[in-house]
Amino acid sequence: MQKGEVLAVCTSLNKGERKKDVKSASLIENFGFRGDAHGGDWHRQVSLLAIESIDKMRAAGLDVGPGDFAENLTTRGLDLCHLPVGTRFRVGQNALLELTQIGKICHERCAIYYQAGDCVMPKEGIFAKVLKGGEVSTGDVIEIVSMPEEKMEGGQ
């Protein structure tokens, strides 16, 4: 299966703000990250964005990095936005996430949009729910452990 790396673990106390890289945090089953404003009993408990997507915004002239798009996990090496809903990831030693949504509708334009004329999170960010909790840290492996059958290699 495909593997990538966690480059940043980010949380924030309030919704609608950039997240801060805390290096390590606890994922709580059916909640999200302990202390994160987006945690709760819903389908968008954890947000993920690839550094490759952030690099697109850097190429457009923005000074942005991990957490600036309000993502919880910044990853490298996985093509997140092209994975099917239902894909499951192992993060670190124990945590298990399931992809629930790709992209999102932004009802209000964020500061990034006004600075760059575009934002990658609505198109390339993904969201997941926590099936099994655990500690997640910068440098951890993020690995796809299963995908819906119709999207598996060799499937139709």
**E strand or H helix at 121, and its extent?**
helix 121-124
- Given a contact cutoff of 8 angstroms between Cβ atoms, the answer to whether 54 and 68 are in contact is yes
Q: Residue 65: count other Cβ atoms within 10 Å of its Cβ.
A: 17
> Quick one: what percent of the chain has pLDDT higher than 90?
67
Average pLDDT over residues 36-54: 95
Domain ranges of the chain: 3-151
- Give the pLDDT of residue 149: 75
- Tell me the C-alpha distance between 87 and 91, whole Å: 13
- Given a contact cutoff of 8 angstroms between Cβ atoms, the answer to whether 120 and 52 are in contact is no
- Give the pLDDT of residue 25: 98
119/20: higher pLDDT: 20
113/120: higher pLDDT: 120
DSSP per-residue codes, 72-115: SEEEES--GGGSPTT-EEEETTTEEEEEEEES---SS--HHHHH
Query: Into which CATH architecture does domain 3-151 fall?
Result: Beta Barrel (2.40)
Convert the pLDDT of each residue in 57-114 to its tens digit. Answer: 888 888 889 998 889 999 999 999 899 999 999 999 999 999 999 886 655 665 555 5
3-state secondary structure of 53: helix
Average pLDDT over the chain, rounded to an integer = 87
122/92: higher pLDDT: 92
- Given a contact cutoff of 8 angstroms between Cβ atoms, the answer to whether 68 and 81 are in contact is no
